[in-house]
Amino acid sequence: MAVVSLSLTFWSMISRRRRPYGSKRNSLRLWAPKKWGGNLTNTVVPAGLGGKSRQHIVVPTGAVERAQLGLEMLKAAILELTRSNPGGITNSDAASLLGLRSDYRGRQKDYLSYSVLGLLLREGKIVRLGDSARHVAR
């Protein structure tokens, strides 16, 4: 249900109706492609993330851009959490405090936040504290 409401909220934020600059919906529209009323001019997926071409899968228009925008928002939220906690955060901290608890059929718990932490590690924006499970911002 959360994914559906996020999608509906996102689409309502980037609708073509004009809103005053002070509104939250208008501020998020700035991160949308020009065709949706935003100021982004390209639809390039970051290098290394494209992967294989799948001929039998249909990717709806705008799906890649929405996914990348969502991923950037998740990374920004987790990075802000690490910067606010100089002692570091764990995957469990990120998952529970940011409402990112996830699982697949009751197993593989909290891989969403774990994967985002991995992306931030690869980008060099956070580091892991020695052998501990804690991550701190650079």
- pLDDT tens-place string over residues 99-125: 999 988 888 888 999 999 999 999 999
Local structure of 127: helix, strand or coil: strand
Separation between Cα atoms, residue 103 and residue 82, nearest integer Å: 23
CATH fold of 62-138 reads Arc Repressor Mutant, subunit A (1.10.10)
Contacts of 138 (CB under 8 A, 6+ apart): 124, 125, 126, 127
| Residue 117 exposed, middle or buried by CB count within 10 Å (0-12, 13-18, 19+) | buried
In this predicted model, what pLDDT tens digit does every residue of 40-60 receive, in sequence order?
655 556 655 566 778 899 989
Nearest in space to 59 (alpha carbons), one of 46, 78, 45, 70: 45
Q: Tell me the C-alpha distance between 74 and 38, whole Å.
A: 20
**C-alpha span between 78 and 98 (Å, rounded):** 8
| pLDDT value of residue 123 | 97
- The domain locations on the chain are 62-138
pTM over 0.75: no
